Amino acid sequence: MRFKNITVAGSGVLGSQIAYQTAFKGFEVSVYDINDDALNTAKERILKLKENYKADLNATDEDVDSAFERMSFNSDLSKAVEKADLVIEAIPEVVNIKTDFYEKLGKVAPEKTIFATNSSTLLPSQFAEATGRPEKFLALHFANEIWKNNTAEVMKHPGTDESVFTDVIEFAKAIGMVALPLHKEQPGYILNSLLVPFLDAAQTLLAREIADVETIDKTWMIGTGAPLGPFAILDVVGITTAYNIVAAKAQATGNPEAQKVADLMKREYIDQGKLGRATGEGFYKYPNPSFAQPDFLKG
Which amino acids are annotated catalytic?
120, 141, 153, 192
Pairing of strands 114-117, 86-89: parallel
Is residue 99 within 8 A of residue 21, CB to CB? The reply is: no
Q: Angle of helix 213-224 relative to helix 230-237, nearest 10 degrees?
A: 110
Is residue 159 within 8 A of residue 134, CB to CB? The reply is: yes
CA 229 to chain centre: 19
CB neighbourhood size of 88 (10 A): 24
CA–CA distance, 137 with 189 (Å, rounded to integer): 16
Comparing C-alpha atoms, which of 263, 244, 241 is closest to residue 252?
A: 244
Q: Angle of helix 13-24 relative to helix 36-57, nearest 10 degrees?
A: 60
CA–CA distance, 259 with 250 (Å, rounded to integer): 5
